[in-house]
Structure 1
Amino acid sequence: MARAATPAITALVAAGVTHTVVQYRHDPRSDSFGEEAVHQLAQDGFVAEQIFKTLVVALPTGLAVAVLPVPSMLSLKAAAAALGAAKATMADPAAAQRSTGYVVGGISPLGQRKPLPTVVDSTALQWDRVLCSAGKRGWDVALDPRDLVRLTKAVTADIRAE
């Protein structure tokens, strides 16, 4: 496992955080990574609202991360406000990849090359465990949402669009 570990998994192990790596078959033709995860992980008993996607946004001061349930749309205005910025736009995918060290569809909020300011949707705290990307397409990690917030130094806020 050590050879295949991602920086996200390495960060969890280093912090002593209890977690479970959940792998599913990623179809290389798919570009709807969150929906693919929901479909595959539902077979393992997870519900869509506890599977979180990691989106990189651009603020006037630089990049940041928004983590929210896969079925939800991101409110850029709410994410910006939670992160103390006037506005936010979706980050350029190439810039997101360069900054985080992960490929789109496998960007984890954990173990990023350069940790970015992070906001986690407050609904995460309703769950005993949430899933987020483990840093590779087809790999998620299940963990206590409070550990996710603590390790990413995230703020929590309602960042879902109505």
Structure 2
Amino acid sequence: MSTGTPATQMLKKAKIAFRTHEYDFVTGQHQIGLHAAEAVGLPPDQVFKTLMIEVDGKPACAVIPSDHSLSMKKVAAALGGKSASMMDTAKAEKLTGYHKGGISPFGQRRKCPTVMDASIEGFEEVVINGGKRGLMVILAPDDAVSVIGATTAGVTAEE
């Protein structure tokens, strides 16, 4: 498998240290993030999933632990909005240039505001989708946040 994606290219160009981990993506998985955590062999709260949302009708991105749910109220507030909703899959794929199950916050076709759950700061390394199904990047949380200018806030329903 080739690991050259817009996400990995962006990280390389920014001189961000990262490793990749590839696994056999199984289509039809209900909880893709949990499947990825199992494949990588790390706890689900250290493996983050990327969700494309709309805040007050505008595109945004949320990155949260794979075993958590997003709080629409909290994510809207974190991004300075009043309400949030999940983005339609077709719209998310067109906006990001990635397919469902392979959406990464890095190297998206169109940059949009991104919030990463504050729990990301509790790890030495985190795992985030690398821009295609079955490809994860492992990197320092500070690098993940800074390379895309993300904000951090508690945005999960479990907090």
The amino acid that maps onto 1:12 is L
Tell me the secondary structure at the aligned position of residue 70 of structure 2: coil
Q: Is the 8 A contact 2:56 2:83 kept in 1?
A: yes
Measure how far apart 1:31 and its partner are: 4.2
1:134-160 deviation line (CA, Å, top 9, x unaligned): 000110000011111111111100001
Structure 1 outlier segments of 4+, above 3 Å: none
Q: Is the 8 A contact 2:3 2:135 kept in 1?
A: no
Residue correspondence of structure 1 range 4-153 to structure 2 within 5 A: 4-42=3-41, 46-153=42-149
Give structure 2 stretches of 5+ with no counterpart.
Answer: none
Tell me the secondary structure at the aligned position of residue 13 of structure 1: helix
The amino acid that maps onto 1:24 is Y
1:100-129 deviation line (CA, Å, top 9, x unaligned): 000011000000001110000000010011
The amino acid that maps onto 1:132 is I
| Paired-residue identity, % | 39
The amino acid that maps onto 2:141 is P
Tell me the secondary structure at the aligned position of residue 5 of structure 1: coil
Distance 1:59 1:160 in 2: 15
Distance 2:32 2:16 in 1: 25
Distance 1:4 1:40 in 2: 17
Aligned-residue CA RMSD (Å): 1.3
Distance 2:3 2:69 in 1: 32
| 60-69 or 11-20: bigger deviation | 60-69
Measure how far apart 1:61 and its partner are: 4.5
1:26-66 deviation line (CA, Å, top 9, x unaligned): 11343431121022112xxx211110000000112411000
Distance 2:27 2:91 in 1: 21
The amino acid that maps onto 2:65 is P
Q: Is the 8 A contact 2:61 2:113 kept in 1?
A: yes
Give structure 1 stretches of 5+ with no counterpart.
Answer: none
